[in-house]
Structure 1
Amino acid sequence: MPTWRRLGDTGVLVELPGLDEVLALDAAVRAEIDRGSTGLADVVDVLPAARTLTVTAPARSDLGRLATEILAVAADLDPAAAAGEADEVEIAVHYDGPDLDEIASLTGLSADEVVAAHTGTPWRVAFGGFAPGFFYLVDGDPRLTVPRRSEPRTAVPPGSVGLAGEFSGIYPRASPGGWQLLGHVDEALWDVDRDPPALLRPGQHVRFAAAPAAPGEASDSAAEIRPVTPSRSATRSSADQGISHDRGSLTVLATGPRALLQDQGRPGLAHLGVGRSGAADRAAHALGQRLLGNELDCAAVEVTLGGLAVRAEADCLVTVTGAPAPAHIDDRPVGHAAVLRLVTGQVLRLGAPAYGLRSYLSVRGGIDVPPVLGSRSTDTLAGLGPDPLEDGEVLPIGDAARALPTTEQAPLPGGPPARIVLRVVPGPRVDWIADREVLVATPWEVSARSDRIGARLVGETLVRHPDHEGEELLSEGVVRGSIQVPPGGEPVLFLADHPVTGGYPVAAVVVDEDVDLAAQLRPGDQVHLTWR
């Protein structure tokens, strides 16, 4: 019988007996959503994993009711029938991986027998993973069960085919990785210009075939790793985009430590390995759009620790929200969270905020660069969307869709909080931690190894409960605000660009409203957690 656990105040984690049941429920829930089921009308994302289905909804949704609706759908499932409907994809592999001989040694097979085992049994696409288009493949030849490499590679080339544990998988883009590599494919696993962009999808069967050797191709099974081919990135040169400057533009003169374009993100694509991303401090981003009369999904510049300078190439209205960075138009200081007029040729400069991490420069009409999968956000983990801004870059301004509000300034922040407190609820795997009260009793410090993916918290070591000592958690869905605990016991608070699945226990989840506050934490800040 399926059971469920809460994922903060935005999601439910439905536990099922096995992958067949997960894939069947995933298909059934999506069918109900397509039919317009009122009980599932507010669902944002549906994400299958090894033994769980994660369903997310807006904050303050009735998660108990949502879980009841999903369990009612699960009661009528026929997993065997759903499994029989899957189609099969054939993928040609060049079996020239650098770990092929190591895999042979680990399995007791010859290199040729490893290839025969990998191609001899159809694999099944189970669930997405750490990158868009990456899927865990299961049900292959059990003789190919091998451990991950003791030392992960810092860069695995795109198209690499690997083994880890019972899984096989194909890296869609260059990334670090510890899988044993046995070959590579030429076909693109992920292409944002393709519909759908992912070559594979959960439930499909994959049959690998040995690619014929090209003339002059080496047959050495331990070939060196091929050079990484740089991935295609979104270019924002107005000439390349064919975007008119009739509505004006901003020229970037300086970016500061980092400046990215962000909007409300890409909801609904987690099953493809694509997280929502978007503005790290969503409330600050939304305030900027409201002050300027923009649609809330307009793109703004997310500025880390100030330092941004832009020149107006036409008269425009802008505002700065989020971390209160001191702002000047030319040499004149201007207010925070206020509607500001930039006249052609004037320069807006942001200093470093006295507190907080991320400020948002919004312009009436939004930044009009080409969207990628429906969003202009830069996802630093997935490598989607525009590249980080560079000096000299030209940012076209879009159309203003609404009337300009009469409010010219929002209330100013009252200064830094004397004590930063984040409200949390127990996570779905809080029972994996020996003492949950350590989470709320410890004053945590934000590590310098924090970014848009997550804030690493330094303090007490969270010890694994004896009942789960040495146990591996199968990958399952995570949400923004999840506090995941790796084996070392140092918790990580997931932020905007978090992976869609994780294989470490989530001990707590920050309530959705407080994640914006978490996004403003600087390295060295102290933060306290409290049960809600």
Structure 2
Amino acid sequence: MRVLTARDDALLVELDDLDQAVALYESLLADPVRGVGVPVPGARTLLVPYRPSAIRAPELAAELRSRPLVRRPAAEARTVEIPVRYDGEDLAEAAALLGWSPEELVRRHTAAAWTVGFVGFAPGFAYLTGDDPELVVPRRSSPRTRVPAGSVALAGPYSGVYPRESPGGWQLVGRTDAPVWDVTRERPALMLPGDRVRFVAVTSAAESRSAVENDLRDGSGAEDDPQVVLEENRNAAGVQVVASGVVAVVQDLGRAGSEGAGVSASGALDRPSLRAANRAVGNPVDAAVVEAVGGLRLRARGPQVLAVTGAVGEIVVRPGAPRPRPGEPFALDDGDELRFAAPARGVRAYVAVRGGISVPPVLGSRATDVLAGLGPDPLRPGDLLPVGVPERGLPAVGPRAVPAPAVPAPPGTGLPAPGETTVLDIVLGPRDDWFDAAGIDLLTGQDWLVTPRSNRIGLRLDGTPLPRTPDRVGAELPSEGCVTGAIQVPPDGLPVLFLADHPLTGGYPVIGAVVAGHVPLAGQLPAGARIRFHVRDVPRPDGTTPAGGTP
């Protein structure tokens, strides 16, 4: 077992194989460690987030090393049956690659005993390993841009089922109607790490639907995913979107706790600004708000109290009225509009409404996850955002009537601007050993440009590419969990800095990660800004502190 630093509040445990990774995952779920969050299994790793205030890295590493790496008995594992119509586009080609007939591939795929190793790539996408060592096929040389939902596929030693339409490079051998991902269930992912899976060949769509309906009666399935639909209703109270600007989405503090099902926490990119906006209007700090990039206009439907924080230009509520300051609560009468100019610094503004944005929660959160497709769609003109019931005893407010609450720094100041260089503290690891000293110097010794291709999933950076060590050129890294702030380096050597909607697992080496306290600053970096990475020394899992950085 190797225990590596993944961030200043996360460790990556490297094990011999997938069985050991799942065994440690099962151990932590059965006997949790105080201060440790939901672990994320990978192909032969386990990402373990923790609170440094509750447990230190060396103590956690010692606890992890003490755990027996023994899987729970097969009889205790949950078994899932997947009915499959074996008519996939790649069935004949995959069989030929194995030197088998299509019928032989189907026979061996259904005869194999499959186990869920980990869930990643997309919510509910389970990586299954089987007990047939010969059932190994390469990925397609050219990935498809569209793989239909329910496709049953093979790649390397894995099998899997695509839960929703998405791009993909696996070999498609069949289709299923089994609802492998459904947020209306208590357990949204049909398959979770440690589950046993059996594929059953069916000959018709009717037979497949019959098998699925039996599962539904047994409580293991449900209806299709609900869609959070926002419609214009001129008679309802709330705030209406007049113009959405570049992009506007609903956000809160995210849906932590679903990582085992392949769902990242998502949530606001600049969480301090979200909390400050909610405090200003008297909401709980985790209430849902609007996160906006440029040009947002909202109209009050009924009297409302709002506050704006983050990257904000001049705020206007009505011609001739006093202009509220960022972080200050203000009132809108029915029909009044809020608009604010593009900010000179930063990129994302946060608009809180007293009572909170009350769209239906999905997996316990109202946040929009653009990669996973969870929560409300990005906002459009005409959408009406319902507002919840505010806390009792809050005072009425007019412009400037109530002073803004204290916040750590004046919102909208000290944020990054295009052309300026922002220093982000990072910790190295877990895969900095894929790069030599010259590569580390390149990472920290140049300014990286934030390109316009950046979004909530990640910042794409431009600069002098980072070369891998000669022995790692062309090497593939088995999928492993990634934290928000991870600096992943694809084969072209140009880093991608993961933000809130990043994929939960990835297969490119992570050279380092932005420390947790600087992640909100990373979320405010506009295109054209520059980043300088500074290595911060944190205690290693072995108890030592590396030299070269600063604490």
TM superposition score normalised by structure 1: 0.90
Task: Say whether 1:12 aligns with 2:8.
Answer: no
Q: Identify the match of residue 152 of structure 1 among 134, 143, 153.
A: 143
Give the equivalent residue in structure 2 for 1:255. Answer: 244
Say which of 52, 62, 66 aligns to 1:68.
62
Q: Which residue number corresponds to residue 91 of structure 2?
A: 100
Q: Within the alignment, does 1:78 sit opposite 2:70 as a pair? A: yes
- Give the structure 2 partner of residue 326 of structure 1: 314
1:401 positional shift: 2.9
Name the aligned partner's letter for residue 368 of structure 1. Answer: S
Summarize the Cα distance change of 1:474–1:216 in structure 2 as closer, same or farther, 3 Å threshold: closer
Distance 1:430 1:196, change over 3 A: same
In structure 1, what is the equivalent of residue 123 of structure 2?
A: 132
Shift of 1:412: 4.9
Secondary structure at 2:115 match in 1? strand
Matched, 1:313 2:313: no
Q: CA deviation at 1:137?
A: 0.6
Aligned match of 2:196 in 194, 201, 205? 205
Matched, 1:515 2:504: no
Q: State the one-letter code of the partner of 1:25.
A: L
1:341 aligns with 331
Contact map agreement 1:9 1:60 (CA 8 A) in 2: no
- The more displaced of 260-269 and 307-316 is 307-316
In structure 1, the residue matched to 2:494 is 490
Tell me which residue corresponds to 1:291.
280
1:60, CA displacement in angstroms?
5.7
Local SS of the residue matching 1:390: coil
1:503 equivalent in structure 2? 507
Rate the CA distance shift 1:59–1:518 in 2: closer, same or farther, 3 A. Answer: farther
1:44 to 37, 40, 60: 37
Which deviates the most, 18-27 or 382-391? 18-27
Please state how far the C-alpha of 1:83 moved relative to its aligned partner: 4.9
> For the residues of structure 1 that align with 2:124 and 2:207, how far apart are their CA atoms?
31
1:227-238 counterparts in 2 under 5 A? Answer: 232-237=226-231
Structure 1 residues 262 and 16: CA distance shift in structure 2, 3 A: same
Classify 1:413/1:308 alpha carbon distance in 2 versus 1 (closer, same or farther; 3 Å). Answer: closer
Match of 1:220 in 2: none
Is contact 1:46–1:268 with CA below 8 Å preserved after alignment? no
- Cα-to-partner distance string for 1:161-207 (whole Å, 9 max, x where unaligned): 11111111100011111111111101110000112111111111211
For residue 232 of structure 1, report the CA deviation from its aligned partner. 4.8
CA distance in 1, matches of 2:103, 2:421: 62
CA deviation profile, 1:445-486 (whole Å, cap 9, x unmatched): 112221101101110111111232332211111100000111
Letter in 1 for 2:166: S
**Superposition map of 1:100-249 within 5 A:** 100-214=91-205, 232-237=226-231, 248-249=237-238
Classify the secondary structure of the residue corresponding to 1:207.
strand
> Which secondary structure state, in structure 1, belongs to the residue aligned with residue 39 of structure 2?
strand
Match of 1:466 among 470, 475, 478: 470
Name 1:226's counterpart in structure 2.
Answer: none
1:224 corresponds to which residue? none
Distance 1:300 1:193, change over 3 A: same
Q: Note the C-alpha offset of 1:419.
A: 2.8
Q: Which moved more, 1:23-32 or 1:475-484?
A: 23-32
Offset of residue 238 of structure 1? 8.1
Structure 1: segments with no counterpart, 5+ residues:
34-39, 218-229
Does the residue aligned with 2:297 lie in a helix, a strand or coil? Answer: strand
Counterpart residue type for residue 189 of structure 1: V
Query: Using the alignment, how far apart are the partners of 1:322 and 1:144 within structure 2?
Result: 52
> How far apart, in 1, do the equivalents of 2:50 and 2:143 lie?
35
Contact 2:182 2:225 in 1 (8 A): no
Change (3 A) 1:216 1:396: closer
Query: 1:133-161, CA deviations, whole angstroms, 9 ceiling, x for partnerless residues?
Result: 10101124333311111111111111001
SS of 2:104's partner is: helix
How many percent of aligned residue pairs carry the same amino acid?
Answer: 47
Secondary structure, counterpart of 1:144 in structure 2: coil
Distance apart, 1:339 and its partner CA: 1.1
Bigger shift: 469-478 or 448-457? Answer: 469-478
Is residue 427–residue 482 contact of structure 1 (8 Å, CA) maintained in 2? no
Give the secondary-structure state (helix, strand or coil) at the position aligned to 1:398. coil
Using the alignment, how far apart are the partners of 1:258 and 1:59 within structure 2?
35
In structure 1, what is the Cα distance between the partners aligned to 2:129 and 2:229?
37
Matched length: 503
Per-residue CA deviations over 1:10-58 (Å, capped at 9, x if unaligned) read 211112222222222111111222xxxxxx2222221122211111124
SS in 2 for 1:102: helix
* Alpha-carbon shift at residue 325 of structure 1 (Å): 2.7
SS in 1 for 2:30: helix
**Quick check: 52-61 or 481-490, which moved more?**
52-61
Give the match for residue 36 of structure 1.
none
1:424 counterpart = 2:413: no
Answer whether contact 2:311 2:412 (CA < 8 A) is retained: no
Greater shift, 381-390 or 9-18, is seen at 9-18
Shift of 1:490: 1.2
Q: Which residue of 1 aligns with 2:31?
A: 32
> Match of 2:78, as an amino acid?
D
Distance in 1 (alpha carbons) for counterparts of 2:52 and 2:231: 37
Secondary structure of residue in 2 paired with 1:515: helix
Q: Give unpaired runs (5+ residues) of structure 2.
A: 209-223, 396-401, 537-551
3-state DSSP of counterpart to 1:250 = strand
Aligned-partner Cα distance in 1 for 2:192–2:414: 48
The one-character-per-residue Cα deviations of 1:266-309 (angstroms, maximum 9, x if unpaired) are: 111111000000001111111111222211110000101x2111
1:408 to 404, 410, 414: 404
Q: Which amino acid aligns with 1:130?
A: F
RMSD: 2.2
The answer as to whether partners of 1:118 and 1:140 remain within 8 angstroms in 2 is no
- Deviation (angstroms), 1:311: 1.0
Paired AA for residue 427 in structure 2 = V
Letter of the 1:109 partner, please give it: W
Tell me if structure 2 keeps the 8 A contact 1:126–1:136.
Answer: yes
